[in-house]
């Protein structure tokens, strides 16, 4: 018999839920009830008698997993809902790696390095190798290494891969393989895995040990993946392996919402699903339940400009709704005030809550002006993302103590706290320790703990201080299995001197830092209570807490009950919805980002990002842009985003007449005054006037033919000015040049779009 909760689904949704066996792909347009399908599917499986332990559901954030569990519980009222394996790829597989750690030669309590830890290791490698830190900057190195790992390329393979090697040589960074190798060794020596290692090692485990693969294939009889369009190769392969036996895999996604290619997500995963799983059933959810007609149409009109996409028609039965508003501001402060004013106005007119509003932006740095304006208007807000709580210095310091106690091999943790609070162990000592450890290929901790039997050359005072530190850590290690995580954390915070050091700083920042330490301790207590409730009374260890914290994403922070407006990046907003949405900073070089303008694929990803932003809105969407904006401390002139033109003008609000008084100003015709002289941005006249075109300052005959350009050629670019071509790669449409611009630096340009002019020397 069909359970009654299924009556809440439409026809396609129901099919997607009821076809539980065999491969299923659900292509879900924005707001079409994708989470609903996933939730109901899991509930239905349990209802049918599938053991929750046999279900694996991977979501994009821990928070989404948690919410899904709660909804399943509401649907079927079965506390077994908690036993479903549900979480992010990283958190679920970290848990499994912990159980199987000895197979891969890691201790049970290995550390997980976050991006900062990884960069810090890389920096020390580059220094120890005496490489130029400008050439081998950590950000780029981590990108290279990260994308290698997510394609399952270890240092050996990296070194042996001719294509990778030629890329690195072209980028004038031919020695990355050495750095990768050493980074790899150091992480291993520290018994640490970075984010990518978690996926790499799971693949290794499932590949190397057929019996383990079989074990998990049998455990996870039903697997579900949310946001499948954002999975990378490593994740794709894990799912493929796990599902190979029973084929009960259900993936849900939307190619139009793929926004993580920059992080290695491979859109082919979703495009090739039917090939990977012959006989897969495909369900398309095209009815949007979230947004008004105007919003849906605006989103559709924007995404139509992308060439590569699966065919899908998103439609809605909802009302037409209000027109989309456009706010034009003179600068970012002004923009923030206009937005805050508009929020205030709507709130008063329609009696709305703060939590009905979200303000979205492309980069975290944009939040500041908005925060100021909201404070002025007395609107309570909450900033998601940006500096996550667990990334703050004082918090990381405390966590480093925890890590060192749990895994004393963790060098990053060691160096972080060995002299904080200050205990007379300075740079000279630390460098020496580091050298001694490298020579022996030991963790630094081992040097310190065996200091009596090693010829170190330290004076007796230094040795005494190191021994005191050793005793401090050992003391807590002995208590690991005796007291609970919360008690231990409290003891460490006090005994390490951290609390005292922070307490003595009575500046406002110092007080905040002190309070943050308190919050961490409270956080452990909360974690402990929840863990006990979910694990039939089992106590969590300090290591459990650390694992949770390391894989905590900025979206996972729990919402309190306060009524607050949300401020977040568009990326963070994925999967969420709000009645009133503002998308701010719609300017060229910001949205789309200046970093993503060199190829069609990048622009298309930015456009999908804009699509995601639009489709967050339920009843009212407001867009805004500014004429000028501060960036890196200096003033920039901005042109409105090309995406604004892609919205059908009939959906936009007709602005009121020019009025400079009061704060509630609508969009005004833009006088072309920025460096792009022909920019004529004039939405409401569109019906009479031809759609404006962003014309280019260089006329067609001035622009060099891509084939005529060669290395060493002096060229001119409309935005970057004069420069010299360093090298050229690719051919035809994909021909790219790297150009060294005077005062701007190196840029990689796709010649088809760059419109370079040859500079003739006089």
Partner DNA sequence: CTCCTCCCTTTTTTT
Partner DNA sequence: AAGGGAGGAG
Q: Which of 34, 347, 747, 755 is catalytic?
A: 34
Q: Please state, in angstroms and as integers, the Cα–Cα distance from residue 330 to each residue in 270, 333, 525, 566, 654, following that order.
A: 42, 8, 48, 24, 19
88 binds DNA (CB under 7 A): yes
DSSP tag of 224: E
Choices 34-42, 274-282, 285-293, 629-637; region in contact with DNA by CB under 7 A: 629-637
Q: Which stretch binds DNA (CB under 7 A): 217-225, 292-300, 324-332, 630-638?
A: 630-638
User: Active site includes 257?
Assistant: yes
Q: Which tokens sit at 278?
A: 């012959």
Is 490 designated active site? Answer: no
The residue range among 96-104, 402-410, 594-602, 733-741 that interacts with DNA, by the rule CB under 7 A, is: 594-602
**192-194 vs 111-113, strand pairing mode:** parallel
The residue among 339, 313, 312 whose CA lies nearest residue 325 is 339
Q: Is 129 in the site for DNA (CB under 7 A)?
A: no
Q: How far apart are CA 620 and CA 358, in angstroms?
A: 11
Could you say whether residue 292 binds DNA (CB under 7 A)? no
91 is an interface residue for DNA by CB under 7 A: yes
Whether 334 is a known active-site residue: answer no
H/E stretch holding 476:
helix 460-479
What H or E segment, with its residue span, contains residue 757? strand 757-758
Q: Does residue 116 have an active-site annotation?
A: no
Q: How far is Cα 530 from Cα 539, in angstroms, rounded to an integer?
A: 10
Among 462, 496, 547, 667, binds DNA (CB under 7 A): 462
**Residue burial 63-101, b: 16+ Cβ < 10 Å; e: rest:** bbbbebbebbeebbeeeebbbbbbbbbbbbbbbbbbebb
* Per-residue binder mask for DNA (CB under 7 A), 156-195, x = binder: ---------------------------------------x
Q: How far apart are CA 33 and CA 14, in angstroms?
A: 11
Q: Does 263 bind DNA (CB under 7 A)?
A: yes
Q: Determine, following the binding rule CB under 7 A, whether residue 572 of this chain makes contact with DNA.
A: yes
Among 282, 435, 539, 595, binds DNA (CB under 7 A): 595
35 is catalytic: yes
Which of 593, 599, 674, 682 forms a contact with DNA (CB under 7 A)? 593
Q: What is the DSSP letter of 174?
A: T
Residue tagged active-site, from 114, 194, 227, 556: 227
Residues 486-515 binding DNA (CB under 7 A) are none
Q: Which is nearer to DNA, 82 or 631 (CB)?
A: 631
Active site residue 547: no
The C-alpha atoms of residue 51 and residue 84 are separated, in whole angstroms, by 8
Joined together, the tokens standing for residue 705 give 């033919």
210 interacts with DNA by CB under 7 A: no
Among 210, 320, 426, 730, binds DNA (CB under 7 A): 426
Structural contact between residues 362 and 570, judged by C-beta atoms closer than 8 angstroms: yes
Q: Is 293 in the site for DNA (CB under 7 A)?
A: no
Query: 130 is written with which tokens?
Result: 């005496």
Q: Which is nearer to DNA, 75 or 436 (CB)?
A: 436
Binding segment for DNA among 33-41, 273-281, 361-369, 655-663 (CB under 7 A)? 361-369
Residue 701, SS3?
coil
Determine, following the binding rule CB under 7 A, whether residue 79 of this chain makes contact with DNA. Answer: no
| Catalytically annotated residue among 13, 138, 231, 257 | 257
Q: Are 37 and 285 in contact (CB under 8 A)?
A: yes
Which of 44, 89, 158, 486 lies at the binding interface for DNA (CB under 7 A)?
89
Contact between 686 and DNA by CB under 7 A: the answer reads no
Nearest-angstrom CA–CA distance, 707 and 733: 11
Q: 154 and 136 in contact (C-beta within 8 Å)?
A: no
| Paired sense of beta strands 249-253 and 24-28, if any | parallel
Please give the C-alpha separations between residue 562 and each of 499, 526, 558, 617, 660, in angstroms, as whole numbers. Answer: 29, 18, 11, 21, 35
Among 115, 181, 185, 247, indicate the residue that binds DNA (CB under 7 A).
115
* Contact residue for DNA among 13, 39, 61, 201 (CB under 7 A): 61
CA neighbours closer than 13 Å in the CB half-sphere of residue 61: 18
User: Would you count residue 555 as binding DNA (CB under 7 A)?
Assistant: yes
Lay out the site mask for DNA across 317-356 (x = CB under 7 A, - = otherwise).
Answer: ----------------------------------------
Cα–Cα separations (whole angstroms), residue 191 to 638, 686, 724? 48, 62, 46
Please state the closest distance from residue 337 (CB atom) to DNA, in A.
Answer: 17
Among 3, 210, 424, 721, binds DNA (CB under 7 A): 424
CB-side exposure of 550: number of CA atoms within 13 Å?
A: 31
Cα maximum dimension of the chain: 88
Could you give the residue numbers annotated as active site? Answer: 34-35, 226-227, 257, 616
Residue ranges in contact with DNA by CB under 7 A: 60-61, 88-91, 114-115, 134, 137, 139, 195-196, 259, 262-263, 362-365, 385, 393, 419, 422-429, 462, 551, 553-556, 569, 571-572, 593-596, 630-633
């Amino acid at each position: 018999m069909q359970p009654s909760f299924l009556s809440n689904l439409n026809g396609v949704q129901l099919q997607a839920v009821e076809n539980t066996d065999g491969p299923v792909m659900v292509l879900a347009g924005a707001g079409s009830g994708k989470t609903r399908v996933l939730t109901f599917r899991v509930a239905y499986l349990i209802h049918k008698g599938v053991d929750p332990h046999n279900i694996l559901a991977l979501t994009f954030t821990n928070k989404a997993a948690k919410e899904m569990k709660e909804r399943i519980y509401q649907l079927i009222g079965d506390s077994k809902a908690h036993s479903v394996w549900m979480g992010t790829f990283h958190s679920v597989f970290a848990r499994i790696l912990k159980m199987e750690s000895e197979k891969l030669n890691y201790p049970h309590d290995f550390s997980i390095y976050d991006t900062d830890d990884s960069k810090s290791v890389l920096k020390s490698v580059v220094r120890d190798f005496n490489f130029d830190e400008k050439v081998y900057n950590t950000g780029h190195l981590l990108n290279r290494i990260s994308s290698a790992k997510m394609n399952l390329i270890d240092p050996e393979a990296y070194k042996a891969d001719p294509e990778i090697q030629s890329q690195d040589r072209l980028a004038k960074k031919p020695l990355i393989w050495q750095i990768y190798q050493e980074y790899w060794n150091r992480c291993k020596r520290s018994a640490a895995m970075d984010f990518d290692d978690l996926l790499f090692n799971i693949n290794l485990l499932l590949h190397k040990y057929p019996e383990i693969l079989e074990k998990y294939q049998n455990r996870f009889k039903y697997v579900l993946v949310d946001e499948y369009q954002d999975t990378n190769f490593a994740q794709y392969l894990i799912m493929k392996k796990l599902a190979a036996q029973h084929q009960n895999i259900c993936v849900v996604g939307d190619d139009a919402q793929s926004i993580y290619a920059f992080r290695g997500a491979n859109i082919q995963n979703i495009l090739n699903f039917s090939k990977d799983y012959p006989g897969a059933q495909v369900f398309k959810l095209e009815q949007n339940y979230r947004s008004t007609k105007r919003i849906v149409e605006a989103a559709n009109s924007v995404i139509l400009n992308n060439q590569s996409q699966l065919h899908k028609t998103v439609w809605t039965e909802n009302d037409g709704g209000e027109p989309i508003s456009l706010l034009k501001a003179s600068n970012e402060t002004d923009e923030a005030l206009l937005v805050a004013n508009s929020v205030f106005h709507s709130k008063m007119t329609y009696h709305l809550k703060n939590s009905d509003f979200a303000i979205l932006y492309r980069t975290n740095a944009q939040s500041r002006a908005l925060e100021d304006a909201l404070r002025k208007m007395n609107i309570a807000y909450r900033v998601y993302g940006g500096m996550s709580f667990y990334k703050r210095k004082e918090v990381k310091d405390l966590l480093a103590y925890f890590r060192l106690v749990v895994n004393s091999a963790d060098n990053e943790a060691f160096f972080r706290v060995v002299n904080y609070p200050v205990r007379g162990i300075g740079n000279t000592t630390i460098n020496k320790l580091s050298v001694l450890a490298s020579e022996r290929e030991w963790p630094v901790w081992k040097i310190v703990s065996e200091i009596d039997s090693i010829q170190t050359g330290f004076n007796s005072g230094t040795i005494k201080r190191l021994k005191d530190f050793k005793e401090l850590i050992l003391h807590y290690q002995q208590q690991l299995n005796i007291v609970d995580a919360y008690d231990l954390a409290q003891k460490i915070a006090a005994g390490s001197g951290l609390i005292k050091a922070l307490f003595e700083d009575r500046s406002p920042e110092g007080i905040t830092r002190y309070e943050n330490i308190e919050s961490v301790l409270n956080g452990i207590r909360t974690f402990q209570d929840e863990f006990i409730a979910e694990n039939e009374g089992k106590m969590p260890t300090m290591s459990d807490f650390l694992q949770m914290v390391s894989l905590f994403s900025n979206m996972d922070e729990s919402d309190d009950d306060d009524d607050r407006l949300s401020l977040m990046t568009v990326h963070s907003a994925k999967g969420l919805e709000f009645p009133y949405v503002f998308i701010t900073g719609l300017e060229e070089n910001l949205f789309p980002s200046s970093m993503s303008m060199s190829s069609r694929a990048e622009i298309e990803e930015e456009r999908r990002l804009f699509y995601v932003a639009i489709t967050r809105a339920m009843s009212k969407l407001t867009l805004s842009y500014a004429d000028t904006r501060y960036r890196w401390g200096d003033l920039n002139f901005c042109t409105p985003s090309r995406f604004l033109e892609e919205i059908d003008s009939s959906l936009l609000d007709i602005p009121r007449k020019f009025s400079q008084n009061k704060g509630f100003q609508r969009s005004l015709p833009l006088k072309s005054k920025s460096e792009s002289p022909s920019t004529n941005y004039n939405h409401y006249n569109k019906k009479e006037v031809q759609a404006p075109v962003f014309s280019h300052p260089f006329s067609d005959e001035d622009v060099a033919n891509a084939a005529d350009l060669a290395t060493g050629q002096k060229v001119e670019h409309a935005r970057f000015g004069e420069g010299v071509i360093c090298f050229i790669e690719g051919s035809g449409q994909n021909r790219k040049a790297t150009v060294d611009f005077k005062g701007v630096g190196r840029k990689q340009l796709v010649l088809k779009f760059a419109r370079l002019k040859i500079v003739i020397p006089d």
